[in-house]
Amino acid sequence: MAILPILRYPDPRLRVKAQPVARVDAAVRRLLDDMLETMYEAPGVGLAAPQVNVPRRLIVIDVSKERNDPLFLVNPEILEREGSIRLEEGCLSVPGIYEPVERAERIRFRALDREGRPYEREAQGLLAVCVQHEVDHLDGRLFVDYLSELKRQRIRKKMEKLRLRTL
């Protein structure tokens, strides 16, 4: 397994619409495992392939306290959204920034797992928010897009400074 570099906002590669995966083969499984390791190491609760510069519809999530309950979403699709919830969100591509975003509180989604088997499940609260946040990444959308223009500009400036410091 390997730790992959994570793209940072406002990198334009985070805006690319990711393509579906045709087959879950060994290469896809290796990438999912690398993404999981990268997410645990960061540390974060979710990571989408475009964040590691792979424009494919792949997501890893683990919202468990023990960090031992990984969820793999290949070609995910949100089927139903219900209610609303406002949680403070962060993103590994926008480090150090946490802002409340309104999302559906309960969702039903389907995806393929790490073996390529289809599954369908319901999620609520943090997991529901996390799935919506990560699926947004696959469509080139970031949580900062839900904030005001002014807030987004401030975050952009902060990220540019951070980038200069870490170069």
Least distance CB 91 / Zn ion (angstroms): 3
CB of 90 to Zn ion, least distance (A): 8
Taking the least distance from each CB to Zn ion, the nearer of 59 and 91 is 91
Is residue 115 flagged as an active site residue? Answer: no
Run of H or E including 75: strand 71-82
- Contacts with Zn ion by CB under 5 A: the residue count is 1
Coil, helix or strand for 57?
coil
Q: Which amino acid is at 72?
A: F
- Tell me the residue nearest to Zn ion as measured from the CB: 91
Locate 56 and state its tokens. 């494919």
Binding mask 57-96 for Zn ion (x = CB under 5 A): ----------------------------------x-----
CB of 47 to Zn ion, least distance (A): 8
CB nearer to Zn ion: pick between 87 and 116 = 87
Helix (H, G, I), strand (E, B) or coil at 131: helix
CA 67 – CA 150 distance, rounded (Å): 35
Nearer to Zn ion, 90 or 116 (CB): 90
**Strand arrangement, sheet containing 46-48:** 46-48, 58-61, 71-82, 106-112, 118-124
Three-state secondary structure call for residue 8: coil
| Residue 14 interacts with Zn ion (CB under 5 A): yes or no | no
- Least distance from C-beta 92 to Zn ion, angstroms? 6
Query: Half-sphere exposure (CA, 13 Å, Cβ side) for 9?
Result: 23
Catalytic residue among 37, 88, 99, 134: 134
Binding site for Zn ion (CB under 5 A): 91
The catalytic site residues sit at 134
